Amino acid sequence: MALLVLSDRIRGKQIGESIIDWRILFCPDQPMEFTVLFLATAVVMLIAWRGQRPLALGLFGAVLIACVATYLHHATDTLKLSF
């Protein structure tokens, strides 16, 4: 703890100031499609474990299509590289 306080004083930060910029982290205009896909995959696994087989297969197909669509959406983005 003393080391963290000392390093904060060296860098000129105020004590208790967070290193996370919460304004950027919870920005409402940024989509959270990867979080939604992860949660959907978890739901499909739970249904496959405890639920009916046709329902699990249908949801798996829907999540797989959503994952492929998300991949293709991001794979076609142009990279702005500065060399």
Question: Per-residue confidence of the chain (83 residues) as pLDDT tens digits?
Answer: 444 444 545 555 555 566 666 555 555 665 688 889 999 999 999 999 998 999 999 999 999 999 999 999 888 878 788 87
In this structure, what token pair is assigned to residue 36?
């939604």
Please tell me the predicted confidence (pLDDT) of residue 53.
92
CA distance 60 to 41: 8
Quick one: pLDDT at residue 80?
Answer: 82
pTM across the whole model: 0.58
In the chain, the N- to C-terminal Cα span, in Å, equals 41
